[in-house]
Amino acid sequence: MAEYRPKNQGLERVLGTGALFSTAYGNVGSSIYYALGLVAIFALGMTPVVFVIAGLIFACTAATYTEATTMYPEAGGSSSFARRAFNEFWSFFAAWGQMLNYIITVAISAFFVPHYLGVFWSPLGESPADIVGGIVVVAVLVALNVVGVKESAGLNVFLALADFFTQVALVAVGIVLAFSPDTLVDNVDLWTAPTVSNFLIAIPVGMVAYTGIETISNMAEEARDYQRTIPRAMAGVVVAVFTIYAFLPAVALSVMPVVDGETKLALAKEDGGYADDPILGVVANLDLGPLQDAAQIYVGILAATILFIATNAGMIGVSRLTYSMGQYRQLPERLRVLHPKFRTPYVAIILFGLIACLTILPGQADFLGTIYAFGAMLSFTIAHMAVIALRVKQPDAERPWRGPGTLRLRGWDLPLFAILGGLGTAIAFVVVTVLNIETLIAGTVWLAIGITTYVLFRRRHGLSLTETHKIVTPKPVVEHEVEYESVLVAFEDGNFSPEAVSTAARLAARRRRGIHVLVTITVPPNSPIDAPLPDEEARAASLIDSARVRGGRRVTGHWEKVRPGGAGRRIVEEAREIRARALVMSLPPRRAGMSLFGKTVETVLSERPCRVIIESSRGVDGRRNGA
């Protein structure tokens, strides 16, 4: 039996500051395409003030997440913090709030996609076409995520940067052409338009624009040098988002001022307003001359694309969070069952996708905004409380990054940023539930369903409500590392080449070295990296056995799970770890549109950790080619 082992079950740490920033901003930046209109519905002329207040609370929350994430660089966000600071019940409570966030992210992003595509066909921006369009978007992404279609990370980063620079350009052009402090002052009829209650509700709704903070926390396991990259990325997102959101609402209210207690920014499309596509409203009301039509088409396409990606990100978040909660025995096993063919948590994807469609059906964007604020404020408040508790319970624990401001109380160094941020999010949570009866009812029902499910499931299995019980991943067959110099043979996703093993055997024979086989298994992006893939794992083990038969007893091997596009880098790292003198690979099966060698081989060739030999049986004469 060949030696095989899932060597590194954790995510590969390859993401730097730029990648973290771009990914997080892609999620945060998409929210402005609907948040601006949602806030204006409640705040009217006070909309710019609301975004500034929400931004200050967000800055405190970002500091909380940064300190806790650098202490515990693992996926989970507020749920992980609560597990460390309190117990499993509070971890579930935070995770259930996150689940609501993801579902509403899917619903609200999908609902606004057809509004921006209305630049091509105006009925898409109105009911019922927007409802139907939003449900179609969710249904398509449910199907794609069940199948496990790969994301294009490069495309996501490109669109995030395009989004950021587009918003910067809008701010710059708007300030030059339309910004008017006098108009902004005239827009405000304090405590009448808006009323006190509407102004207070607008603040937690405004936090919708800042909810991508969980993104960086959930990517912590993939961050390179996380003690420095996470704080830098978080600071970059805070500065960029706060800058955009401080000025863009002011530009919007300058070009669409409040008149007789109304602004086009808060009116539905049927009433001649832009609440459902606020950024298009900004462009439409700027005097851009001959560029007007082109600018509106560009913004419509960009916004729809980014919102589509944000919907997919929410769907992926649902699947990963469900799987994680299942691992910690917080949800029934049925919800984390993987599809027998595609190896994705299809039950959870379909179930929560259906719930997202049900929330779209009423066609009430303001309701989606307030219920989102309910879940977000709940999670954020628990995160702040956890950081405060950790300062008390673990005062001497290593904190690679400490947030600014300390309050000395009874010998404890309490985090001032978490105290202020916690007060802000807790008050916002109370406001959005007390002053909005629909949100109170819907939020209470959601929490009741979650708590009931958790308690019944735990009691049924005889588990404590507060103790952590994690499903243990089976230990590898061989736990020791390959420490000796060797020849490395690498195969991707079960593509076996007997010729590659034979070549490695000849090289090892000449220099008396061992042979180590690495088989990479690609895990779909909407599944956890440690998701069981029994068919793929069995195939990899069988491949290693075949290599052992051909190469003899000196052949060892293991398989590893990687994200799409990560096989090449992992092979390079393995070659360096075992100090391989030679690396033998086979060319992948030829596919339409694929480059000559394929991405994995090209990555290895570009870095060349040692001598690289590429074996291929392609060609009519069957000759092997060396490189």
Q: How sure is the predictor about 209, in pLDDT bands with cuts at 50, 70 and 90? A: low
Percent of the chain topping pLDDT 90:
33
Say what the pLDDT of residue 594 is: 58
DSSP one-letter string for 340-367? TTT-S-HHHHHHHHHHHHHHHTT--HHH
The residue-averaged pLDDT of 492-521 equals 80
Task: Answer whether residue 410 is part of any domain.
Answer: yes
Q: Which of 149-163, 385-399, 564-578 reaches the highest mean pLDDT?
A: 385-399
Checking if the pLDDT of 625 tops 70, the result is no
The verdict on residue 4 lying in a domain is no
Average pLDDT over residues 525-534: 79
Is the CB of residue 547 less than 8 Å from the CB of residue 517? yes
- Is 11 part of a structural domain of the chain? no
Question: Is residue 470, in this structure, part of any structural domain at all?
Answer: no
pLDDT averaged over the chain? 83
Judge contact between 278 and 36, C-beta under 8 A. yes
Domain tally, the chain: 2
501 plus 438 within the same structural domain: no
Q: How confident is the model at residue 387 (pLDDT cuts 50, 70, 90)?
A: very high
**pLDDT computed for residue 627 by the predictor:** 41
pLDDT band per the 50, 70, 90 thresholds, residue 484: very low
What's the pLDDT at 472? 58
Q: Are residues 110 and 190 in the same domain?
A: yes
Residue 475 lies in a domain: no
Contacts of 495 (CB under 8 A, 6+ apart): 586, 588, 589
More confidently predicted of 127 and 89: 89
Please give the Cα distance from 210 to 208 (Å, whole number).
5
pLDDT at position 483 is 35
Same domain, 447 and 319: yes
* Same-domain status, 569 and 503: yes
Position 620 in a domain: no
C-alpha span between 262 and 192 (Å, rounded): 12
Residues 416 and 492 in one domain: no
Q: Is 125 helix (H, G, I), strand (E, B) or coil?
A: helix
Rounded distance between C-alpha atoms, residue 552 and residue 489, angstroms? 14
Better pLDDT: 590 or 431: 431
Which of these three, 460, 494, 514, is where a domain ends? 460
- pLDDT band of residue 617 (cuts 50, 70, 90) is low
The answer to whether residues 448 and 490 belong to one domain is no
Looking at the structure, tell me whether residues 354 and 492 fall in a common domain: no
* Phi, psi of 440, deg, nearest 5: -60, -45
Same-domain check for residues 71 and 220: yes
Shortest CA distance to 158 belongs to which of 22, 279, 27? 22
How does pLDDT run across 230-248, given as a tens digit for each residue?
A: 888 888 888 887 888 889 9
Select from 557, 579, 558 the least CA-distant residue to 511. Answer: 579
- The stretch 341-352 carries a mean pLDDT of 85
- Is residue 311 located within the same domain as residue 421? yes
| Domain limits for position 183 | 17-460
DSSP assignment letter at 259: B
Please indicate, yes or no, if residue 591 is contained in any of the structural domains.
Answer: yes
Do 200 and 136 reside in the same domain of the chain? yes
5: in domain = no
Look at 510 and 626; give whichever has higher pLDDT: 510
Angle at 51 between CA 46 and CA 56, to 5 degrees: 130
What is the rounded average pLDDT of the residues 109-115?
93
Q: Going by C-beta distance under 8 Å and a sequence separation of 6 or more, which residues neighbour residue 460?
A: none
**For residue 135, pLDDT beyond 90:** yes
Q: Are 443 and 374 in contact (CB under 8 A)?
A: yes
| Residues 137 and 269 occupy one common structural domain | yes
Report DSSP state, residue 120.
T
Residue 522 sits in a domain whose CATH number is: 3.40.50.620
Instruction: Provide the CATH number for the domain around residue 289.
Output: 1.20.1740.10
- Tell me: do 121 and 191 sit in the same domain: yes
Tokens of 39: 């806030």
